[in-house]
Amino acid sequence: MQINPPYLMFLGDVPDQLAAKTAAGIVDWRRDWCIGQLRLPGCKADLGIADMSIADAAKAGTRTMIVGVANAGGVLPDHWVRTIVEALDAGFDVASGLHTRLGSKAEIADAARRNGRQLFDVRHSDMRFDTGKGDKRPGMRLLTVGTDCSAGKKYTALALEKAMRDRGFDADFRATGQTGIFISGRGVAIDAVVADFISGAVEWISPAADANHWDLIEGQGSLFHPSFAGVSLGLLHGAQPDAFVVCHEPTRTTMRGVKTPLPTIRQVIDLTIATGTLTNPAIRPVGIAVNTQALGEDEARAYLAQVSREHDLPATDPIRFGVDVIVDRIAADYPQTVRAKAAS
């Protein structure tokens, strides 16, 4: 699918900043594509870009309105339909990462038809995937895993892609969620794939490659999350990662959306190794990525140092402090993958 910028980011009336993480991710990594945001009364999220009406956005040259939210169940509330229809009537295409298909709402489907506009449901792929085979395939792979959902797995993988390329690695980000697809232009929303085909879909996302090429695969959910562990496990088996980075948010006590206690970083490392060896016996951790947004700088640095000592792994906040310490570990553990690229 070809989704045309510039974008108007539609946030609806989401209750917090995290519920707008799809839109926030696009703004963070593709800021020049985002012309403004449209928020309904009661919206508690703010992308830090201009608030615009649909009429204003049309004058500014918007081509696509992105429904940039990630709510529980991926539902499209009925009271958002009128705004989406208005965008179609203004000549915009509309793209969404929700589970609910835009065209399943009759008013939206009718508006798209009468205006000759396109509806993009990036969470739904037209691809047909095989079941996973688990056969070892050439190339190097890193997977970001988490103590919870919404803990920084996508941002960590994107930050690693940039830093590794700067250091001479041959590395590509591989998207497994709707935001990553909007950012990279390719991928599969793994949580919308029928369970039997999740690992096969990840094998398709990250196919056989040059022996020294790195695929940096965006993780989803958590092996410990009662809602999403099935997706996380299928993703792990299909990814066959040689390396993984644990992503963590230190102020949480329970997992997002449920009452289940947050697992420790050590528990995530141990379970990832125990289950990941099914498709790659050589799997190992290479770093810890911590979202320290809620901590002061001194507190954040002290926490990262403590976590690094406890697990004998480099620990950093990818957004606040960069990922060079993790790239250093990757270069030390897999020196052949950087030397081969740097010499070319």
Query: Which architecture characterizes domain 7-121 according to CATH?
Result: 3-Layer(aba) Sandwich (3.40)
Give the pLDDT confidence score for residue 328 in this predicted structure: 98
* Residue 28 one-letter amino acid: D
Torsion (CA) 210, 211, 212, 217 in degrees, nearest 10: 80
Instruction: Indicate the CATH number of 140-342 among 2.60.120.10, 3.40.50.300, 3.20.20.70, 3.30.450.20.
Output: 3.40.50.300
- Please say whether the dihedral angle defined by the alpha carbons of residues 151, 157, 159 and 164, taken in this order, is positive or negative: positive
Give the pLDDT confidence score for residue 233 in this predicted structure: 98
pLDDT by position in tens, the chain (length 344): 678 899 999 999 999 998 998 999 999 988 999 999 999 999 999 999 999 999 999 999 999 999 999 887 789 999 999 999 999 999 999 999 898 999 999 999 999 999 999 999 988 877 789 999 999 999 999 999 999 998 999 999 999 999 999 999 999 999 998 888 888 878 888 988 999 999 999 999 999 999 999 999 999 999 999 999 999 999 999 999 999 999 999 999 999 999 999 999 999 999 999 999 999 999 999 999 999 999 999 999 999 999 999 999 999 999 999 999 999 999 999 999 986 444 43
Provide the whole-model pTM: 0.83
Residue-range domain boundaries for the chain: 7-121, 140-342
Give the pLDDT confidence score for residue 118 in this predicted structure: 95
DSSP code for 219:
P
Q: Alpha-carbon distance 270 to 260, whole Å? A: 19
Give the pLDDT confidence score for residue 145 in this predicted structure: 98
CATH topology identical between 7-121 and 140-342: yes
**What is the CA angle 297-303-304, rounded to 5?**
90
| Chain centroid to CA 32 | 19
Three-class secondary structure of residue 119 per DSSP? strand
